[in-house]
Amino acid sequence: MAEIVLDNVSKRYPDGALAVDRFSLHVADGELVVLVGPSGCGKSTLLHMVAGLEDISEGTVTIGGQVVNDKAPKDRDIAMVFQSYALYPHMTVSQNMGFPLKLAGLDRTTIEQKVREAAALLELTAYLNAKPSTLSGGQRQRVAMGRAIVRRPKAFLMDEPLSNLDARLRVQMRREVARIQKTLGTTTLYVTHDQTEAMTLGDRVAVMQRGVLQQVGPPQFLYDHPANLFVAGFIGSPSMNFLPARLDGDLLHSPLGEGRIPDQLLDTVRKHPRGDVILGIRPEHFEDATLIDASDTPLIRADIEALESIGSDLFIYFRVPGAPVRFPELVAVGEAAAPDSASIQLVARLSAGSRAAEGEALDLCYDTNRIHLFDAKSGVNLTHGPPRPQGLGSISEDTV
């Protein structure tokens, strides 16, 4: 078994700064878990502690059943892939990939065999005699991955390996990383700040903020059942819309008007019968009212300020009167409102068949069954939390 278990791991620097705070996570054997969060949230520090590049202040890291807190990086049987390719320019692809095996003292025949096997998996066979300078960015990153693969370690640790690639190559390499990891079945801990990368790659995704694990689970679970405002705002592009609202029995008052709480949310409302809440609606849960039967759904008259077409969808931006939500966790995901704003900007993702036009008004409806209600003080999701997600690991599946 090559599972990775982090048990209440913390990192505190000599100046008192707390980079990681009591982080617990179980990465099962053969699983790919993605650590995601904004810059400075502690995800790379955590990965470096697993690798042995950073000392652990508190807690334990276990790899393959062995506590590795005091083991040197070379004794942990892990391989790292970094953002920079770190290839030797004077060596061929074959020599770069085989270099760690040469350092380990393996014979030439064994090295050549392992390099050929890794090159075939990475579709690099035709480039084994080439120098890195003649390769594309994607090919260089595959060489860097090949250097890790030839060692057949217990675990791969990947620290934003695709950040240096352009958008097209990132999409291609995401597929490659997923294919290679599934083929090898090697336990993988992958760090990125790109939530799209996290959602498309991970068996499970662990969301971090300020050194604290916010939530972990399968990607779709996090999207459908965010534990709090931070996760709701961070996962999804464009981000979820947030509006101030107030509960009064089974009625919800918000800048979108007054509406009844859907039946499936009534149990939640009874536990939180009155008071201020934050209403969350994802852009795709709006629709042009002329395209569907909107007789039983709330209607909003939207004056379109801006419109973006991406072919398959239209994104429209409009405002509703009211004071924007001001919450510390929304600042962290770039959703902070202007301090003197008297209106709230919303974004809706409409079907391509909509006749929406910039500068014109449009009737919109929204799916009340898909709304989220968050506690106005704590930011905890009141409406969708949490049925327990089905994942491979077992620690902190519904962590808030």
Q: How far is CA 244 from CA 24, 40, 344, in A?
A: 33, 29, 10
Q: Average pLDDT of 374-399?
A: 62
CATH 3.40.50.300 corresponds to the domain 4-229:
yes
- Structure tokens given for 58: 């508190």
- Structure tokens given for 120: 């075939």
State residue 331's pLDDT score.
65
Higher pLDDT, 166 or 361: 361
- Give the range among 59-68, 78-87, 278-287 with minimum mean pLDDT: 78-87
Nearest CA to 177 out of 193, 159, 151, 195 is that of 159
**pLDDT beyond 50 at 397:** no
Estimate to the nearest angstrom the gap between the alpha carbon of 118 and the chain centroid.
28
**pLDDT beyond 90 at 339:** no
State residue 29's pLDDT score.
95
Higher pLDDT, 274 or 49: 49
In whole angstroms, give the CA distance from residue 391 to residue 12: 30
Helices (H) and strands (E) in the chain, counts: 10, 20
Strand order in the sheet with 78-81: 78-81, 155-159, 187-192, 32-36, 204-209, 212-217
State residue 390's pLDDT score.
38
**pLDDT beyond 60 at 395:** no
Buried b (16+ CB within 10 A) or exposed e, 148-180: bbbbebbbbbbbbbbeebeeebbeebbebbbeb
Q: Average pLDDT of 130-157?
A: 90
State the pTM of this model: 0.87
Helices 137-149 & 108-122 angle (0-180, nearest 10): 130
229: confidence class by pLDDT, cuts 50, 70, 90 = very high
- Give the range among 138-142, 213-217, 335-339, 368-372 with minimum mean pLDDT: 335-339
In whole angstroms, give the CA distance from residue 313 to residue 272: 36
Beta-carbon neighbour count of residue 310 at 10 Å? 9
At 15-73, the pLDDT tens digits run: 999 999 999 999 999 999 999 999 889 999 999 999 999 999 999 999 999 999 999 99
Helices (H), ranges, 104-166? 108-122, 137-149
Whose tokens are 């003292």? That residue is 105
- Structure tokens given for 172: 């291609």
In whole angstroms, give the CA distance from residue 110 to residue 94: 13
337: confidence class by pLDDT, cuts 50, 70, 90 = low
In whole angstroms, give the CA distance from residue 149 to residue 137: 18
Q: What is the CA radius of gyration of the chain?
A: 24
Pair 123, 55: CB distance under 8 Å: no
Helix (H, G, I), strand (E, B) or coil at 239: coil
Environment class of 49 (CB within 10 Å of its CB; exposed 0-12, middle 13-18, buried 19+): buried
Q: Backbone phi, then psi, for 22, in 5-degree steps?
A: 45, 60
Pair 10, 23: CB distance under 8 Å: yes
Pair 393, 207: CB distance under 8 Å: no
Helix (H, G, I), strand (E, B) or coil at 113: helix
Whose tokens are 């008007």? That residue is 257
**pLDDT beyond 90 at 284:** yes
State residue 165's pLDDT score.
79
What residues does each domain of the chain span?
4-229, 238-375
Strand order in the sheet with 4-12: 18-27, 4-12, 58-63, 66-67
- Give the range among 81-90, 112-121, 230-239 with minimum mean pLDDT: 81-90
